[in-house]
Chain A
Amino acid sequence: MNLEQLRQLQPYLWTLPRTPGEERAEVLLYGGAPLLVSMDDKVLEQIANVASLPGLVGAAMTMPDAHWGYGFPIGGVAAFDAEQGGVISAGGVGFDISCGIRCLRSNLNLEDAVEHFPELGNALFHAIPAGVGEEGEIKLNPEQLDQVMHGGAHWAVQEGYGTPADLDYIEERGRVAGAVPDNVSELAKKRQRGEMGTLGSGNHYLEVQVVDRIFDPAAALAFGLHEGQILISIHCGSRGLGHQIGTDYLVLLAKAASRIGIHLPDRELACAPIKSPEGQQYMGAMNAAINCALANRQILTHLTRSVFTEIYPQAALETLFDVSHNTCKAETHQVDGESRLLYVHRKGATRAFGPGHPMLPERYRQVGQPVVIGGSMGTGSYILVGDSENPAFASSSHGAGRAMSRHRALARWKGRALLDELAQQGILIHTRSMRGVAEEAPGAYKDVDLVAEATEEAGLARRVAFLRPKVCVKG
């Protein structure tokens, strides 16, 4: 991205000035110059398109890990007011509705665990269905799937996957209201039949990590983190159900926008007014997919626990937090001193509530919400904490963000060689797809340290801990 087209407002905040006659809201880009320079110009084009949608409140924003997506950029945040004709956009949520990260903290330390990592990796690889074409052992009938779509992680816990204590540490306490399974197509339901408790493919993973560095001891204490501790991160979403809902509503909302007379600079921005029948219909289906994702990560948590206790009988895994990064959620925010109900789209962006927020569990209420920036399998991830001064509708970065296309990564790296290289660094990767590994090469991602630093410097969230990968099941 050519920074000459931007105006720097603060060291980690930039804007794209409007051209004469251009009618759109403000665009704000969070991040330092090195990150912005590495972004494709398409990010600017896409976020400027978002800024032209009706009912947008404040600015259309990109997080420091932003990259070129479809419709919205990945790392895009936009809030809409239903009372002002605000829209809901399937392209603003993405196909993998409620994709997110479940982070588990263990009572194990690296020195206790490291000896059994090869055994652990093999066992996780066999227990966690991962990769294209893999199905889980759980087969749901239509009634059960409706229960999943209503119940989310609560359904999973009732079925014996995990414990009630997990629910306190999941966004929305493990279940969003407003799910309408009747708004979900039969094909979407059929696609999910064998996919509960599966990881998926692409950038999805289950990673065993060690806390390598603590940045904020007070927040780390509240989160129950210490150096040398083993954590587990599970990155996945709503699987086939969410993908099909995204698919179904993309075309439906594109047609609705055309019918209603909403000009879409990119058809992928397919949207409808929140209060329109189509908008409400999508909202009900999207919420059903969110619950499906929460249930899915709850099942994977259970499977992970089973493997850990098999390998380490003394192991106890608690849910640190579960946060989604592909959603549209109704939230109350202060805008110009006024409390307003907004529909906040976060596509590849994580919610990051600051201290005192009533939706946080008691344990974290004084310190703020845990925020996870998932890195590549070779570098590391960060846990951050939400900041009460967050200027972006309580949003933060969600990952390292791609710096190179899959096509180029595939031409540059070979899966097998990459696995060997990572093994030499003490990182054990288990995968069924060498192509997937090559596409997800650590070098294809931005520098996660820069992203985390920029996230903190921009006032979006503060760094708490850096996690180094040790064992990874790659989707």
Chain B
Amino acid sequence: MEEQRGNFREVAWVDRVMDQGYLCMPTQTQTSSYFEHDADIGIIGRGDTLEQAFETAAQAVFGIVTPLDKVQPQTSVKIEFEESDHELALVTWLNLLLGKARELGMVFSRFHVQRRENLWSTEALGEKWREVMERGVEVKGATLTMLSVKQTGAMWEVRCIVDV
């Protein structure tokens, strides 16, 4: 397993109802969580920095796909893009991750984001699907609905609806 790098913080799943399926709930020190939506799923990422909030938002997305603690971060995929609008950057990044995951037949569990003005340099770590991995639900894409990137005090919070 590769060492953790950057300012990555792993989501701690405390309530994991196996039932061969699972229900994931974050802890009090949560960095990612979900909000209600009728047809799809609302994801939230929080962090001390904007970049960290992006990272945890990605964890929320891939946590829908499979329990992340079972995914080995053995392969690294780097993604760079330019975007000046923080909200569009969030959606762009999540969708690039989803696209790459599907293209490569992978699932990602760890994420690093760095930003220099409008240039976003990111890394996702994960592995190819294995038969033993639990199957959650496919995320088709991150939408612009209820999309927000906000800083409240020292905390950044990002959110949007993802289509499943």
Q: Which residues of A contact B (CB under 8 A)?
A: 40, 42, 67-71, 74, 91, 94-96, 131-133, 135, 187-188, 190-191, 193-195, 200-202, 240, 243-244, 246-247, 250-251, 254, 266-268, 270, 402, 404-408, 410-411, 414-417, 432-439, 475
Given A94-B163, A191-B102, A408-B36, also A434-B144 (CB < 8 A): no
Query: Chain B contact residues: over half helix, strand or loop, or mixed?
Result: loop
B22 touches A247 (CB 8 A): no
Is B77's CB within 8 Å of the partner chain A? no
Closest CB-CB distance, B105 to chain A, in whole Å? 7
Contact with A along B79-108 (1 / 0, CB 8 A): 000000001100110011011101101010
Task: Please indicate the chain A residues that have their CB under 8 angstroms from the CB of B105 in the complex.
Answer: 133, 135, 194
Task: Please indicate the chain B residues that have their CB under 8 angstroms from the CB of A414 in the complex.
Answer: 17, 19, 21
CA distance A62 to B88 in the complex (A): 28
Given A70-B163, A187-B103, also A435-B137 (CB < 8 A): yes
Task: Please indicate the chain B residues that have their CB under 8 angstroms from the CB of A404 in the complex.
Answer: 38
Q: In this complex, what residue of B is CB-closest to A437?
A: B21
CA distance A95 to B91 in the complex (A): 13
CA distance A474 to B164 in the complex (A): 14
Is B12's CB within 8 Å of the partner chain A? no
Closest CB-CB distance, B71 to chain A, in whole Å? 11
CA distance A439 to B23 in the complex (A): 11
List CB contacts (< 8 Å) of B114-155 with chain A. Answer: 129, 133-138, 140-145, 147
A-B contacts, 14 of them at CB < 8 A, read: A133-B129, A135-B105, A187-B103, A195-B102, A243-B98, A244-B99, A246-B141, A250-B143, A268-B143, A268-B144, A417-B19, A432-B135, A433-B135, A435-B137
Nearest 5 Cβ contacts at the A-B interface: A434-B21, A201-B138, A70-B145, A133-B129, A68-B38
Task: Please indicate the chain B residues that have their CB under 8 angstroms from the CB of A132 in the complex.
Answer: 65-66, 135-138
Task: Please indicate the chain A residues that have their CB under 8 angstroms from the CB of B36 in the complex.
Answer: 405, 407-408
Task: Please indicate the chain A residues that have their CB under 8 angstroms from the CB of B1 in the complex.
Answer: none
CA distance A435 to B22 in the complex (A): 6
Among candidates B19, B38, B129, B141, residue contacting A42 with C-beta atoms closer than 8 Å: B38
